[in-house]
Amino acid sequence: MQYLLKKTDKLRFKSDFDYVRQNGVKYVGSCLVLVVAPPPDEALRCGVICGKKFNHRAVVRNRARRLLWESFRLLKPAVCAGRLVMIPRKRIIARKQPEVQRELQDLLRQAGLWHDGRHAAIRPTTCSD
């Protein structure tokens, strides 16, 4: 099954990022920081913040963004509704995509947003189990 990222899956406006920053909880991993906020509606939306403070070279920043978006895309069917912001850390530069995906999955488990992989074809709107 092919998983796609749609425009509606992404946080696009500053107000969306501000909402997550004000209402969210941080989960820190070795190569990324995940900020999770409860959803105002029953949808899963995600954003990535990667500025020049991370690295002055655009090529490096773009690779970090791609790693995070690809990891999110592959995990999306098993993630419960919420607002997520992913922030790469400098250690992500030396990581491969499966390592980043594994760490994101671990952080989602810590946040309580990871739904068991048995139900990956059906994305739950809430995670009560």
In a domain, 1, yes or no: no
CA distance 125 to 20: 19
pLDDT at 24: 94
CA distance 109 to 29: 12
Q: How is residue 74 written in tokens?
A: 């592959």
Residues 6+ apart with CB under 8 A from 95: 31, 67
Query: Domain count of the chain?
Result: 1
pLDDT at 2: 64
Regarding pTM above 0.75, the answer is yes
In a domain, 125, yes or no: no
In a domain, 4, yes or no: no
pLDDT at 118: 47
Structural domain including 75 reads 10-113
CA distance 33 to 89: 7
pLDDT at 3: 80
CA distance 94 to 81: 30
Residues 6+ apart with CB under 8 A from 127: 80, 112, 113, 114, 115
What string of pLDDT tens digits covers the 129 residues of the chain? 568 888 889 999 999 999 999 999 999 999 999 999 999 888 999 999 999 999 999 999 999 999 999 999 999 999 999 999 999 999 999 999 999 999 999 999 999 998 865 444 333 444 544
CA distance 32 to 99: 11
In a domain, 127, yes or no: no
Q: Domain with 25 in it: what CATH number?
A: 3.30.230.10
